[in-house]
Amino acid sequence: MTQITPQPGIMDIALYQAGKSHVAGQTRVLKLSANENPFGPSPKAIAVAQSAAPDLHRYPSTDHSELRAAIGEIHNLDPDRIICGVGSDEVLQFVVQCYTGPGDEVIYTEHGFSMYPILARQAGATPVCVPETNRVVDVDLILNAVTERTRLVFLTNPGNPTGTLLPADEVARLAEQLPDHILLVIDGAYAEFVRPEARFDAGVNLVDTRANVIMTRTFSKVYGLGGLRVGWGYAPRAIIDVLNRVRQPFNLSNLSLATAEAALRDRDYLDMCRRENAKWRDWLAGELAALGVPSDQSHTNFILARFADQNEAEACDALLQTRGIIVRKVAGYGLPEGLRITIGDEEGCRALAAAIRAFKEGARA
Ligand SMILES: *Cc1c(COP(=O)(O)O)cnc(C)c1O
């Protein structure tokens, strides 16, 4: 019989490895592995989600006009240059599908998001991994890697799992020095957590002033809606027009649209989540540093704790699991000595710090 073969590139995709969410033998776990909001969604968003149930027989809006108008209002953006997707992952997929294909190269960086090479291969394109310098994206190394086949550059800013920020002037330099026919995609999944002193606009000004820059954002992180699957992109109108051609007309449910809008409009809740994150992020980084576990200054809702080596990171992870605490190993992101730890609420941060203290004391004993 003849083999039914998939398109080139598809079988090169490794199946996505999700982080753990259970520990054998533990009924209560403290999950600090997926950068979820420890406070959950806004109570107003929960109420809207519950009230949406009786209308689930109705097809949703196909143009997402209300959610786009709300995003435009809150972020002071033109709603006609916004597109919504099933998580920002889907928006990233539209971009790769529309602008790359076999023979094209897609640049991403050493510790970049694992979805980027997957998306490139889905489109038949070739992912090209560029080193970072001390866990920070290096604009010159990206520019050096550009060839005549490069079509797209992915930048996660702030980075995941590094938590570091490429300063605005460096992002602007990258945009200016990339050839005009190459798209720069700025993935701002953690943009809401950036420290105010960084004066960071997530790439909005670059989208407004250039024809080849796209910004993506998500409701999965600070809005606590990872399970709902809503994200959005902001791009020049010509690009939005292209992306909308591959978007399925009913990609977002009416429940998703209404819930995301309610979450977006609850600014008091957002402020509380950001304040708590900033407070406990600094507290936790300080505690771990005092225990001999340094981390780079984080602009996100996690820290990348660095141990002496992979052995120590794995031993610490094993101890955390005995206490029902789940963090993310990041050897697959080129950081074998690291553990990525989501900032929990006060109780979660204190439990984590106490466990790492016990690990360090046990190692000394
Ligand atoms: C979490 C995350 C996203 C968001 O993905 P969604 O599909 O919106 O849930 C995107 N990029 C990075 C780097 C992330 O960490």
- Ligand 1 pocket, residue 99 CB under 6 Å: no
Q: Counting atoms of ligand 1 from 1, which one is nearest the CA of 90?
A: 7
- Ligand 1 pocket, residue 220 CB under 6 Å: yes
CA of 84 to the centre of ligand 1 (A): 14
Residue 182 pLDDT > 90? yes
Pocket test for ligand 1, best of 92, 218, 251, 298 (most atoms within 8 A of CB): 218
- Ligand 1 pocket, residue 300 CB under 6 Å: no
What pLDDT score does 270 carry? 98
Reported as a pLDDT band with limits 50, 70 and 90, residue 26 is confident
- Ligand 1 pocket, residue 218 CB under 6 Å: yes
For residue 247, give the nearest of 90, 70, 58 by alpha carbon.
Answer: 90
Determine contact, residues 20/33, Cβ cutoff 8 Å: yes
Residue 97 pLDDT > 80? yes
Reported as a pLDDT band with limits 50, 70 and 90, residue 18 is confident
Q: Counting atoms of ligand 1 from 1, which one is nearest the CA of 35?
A: 1
What is the tens place of the pLDDT at every residue in 116-174? Answer: 999 999 999 999 999 999 999 999 999 999 999 999 999 999 999 999 999 999 999 99
What is the tens place of the pLDDT at every residue in 220-271? Answer: 999 999 999 999 999 999 999 999 999 999 999 999 999 999 999 999 999 9
CA of 274 to the centre of ligand 1 (A): 18
CA of 88 to the centre of ligand 1 (A): 6
Residue 221: CB partners within 8 Å, gap ≥ 6?
35, 36, 37, 189, 190, 192, 193, 301
Give the Cα separation of 255 and 48 in Å (integer): 8
For domain 17-41+268-364, the CATH class is alpha beta
Residue 89 pLDDT > 80? yes
Residues pairing with 155 in the sheet: 186
What pLDDT score does 296 carry? 98
Residues pairing with 338 in the sheet: 306
What pLDDT score does 236 carry? 98
CA of 177 to the centre of ligand 1 (A): 26
Give the Cα separation of 238 and 258 in Å (integer): 27
Angle between helices 346-364 and 267-290 (to 10 degrees): 10
Give the Cα separation of 360 and 354 in Å (integer): 10
Question: What is the distance of C-alpha 358 from the center of its chain?
Answer: 31
Determine contact, residues 295/306, Cβ cutoff 8 Å: yes
- Ligand 1 pocket, residue 107 CB under 6 Å: no
- Kindly state the tokens that stand for 245: 């051609």
- Kindly state the tokens that stand for 187: 């993935």
- Ligand 1 pocket, residue 189 CB under 6 Å: yes
Residue 18: CB partners within 8 Å, gap ≥ 6?
none
Q: Are strands 328-329 and 338-342 parallel, antiparallel or unpaired?
A: antiparallel
What pLDDT score does 24 carry? 79
* In the chain, domain spans: 17-41+268-364, 43-265
Looking at CATH, the fold of the domain delimited by 43-265 is given as Aspartate Aminotransferase; domain 2 (3.40.640)
Residue 320 pLDDT > 90? yes
What pLDDT score does 25 carry? 78
- Ligand 1 pocket, residue 160 CB under 6 Å: yes
Give the Cα separation of 274 and 348 in Å (integer): 16
Q: What is the CA radius of gyration of the chain?
A: 21
Between CA 49 and CA 4, with CA 17 as vertex, the angle to 5 degrees is 100
CA of 89 to the centre of ligand 1 (A): 6
Average pLDDT of the chain to the nearest whole number: 96
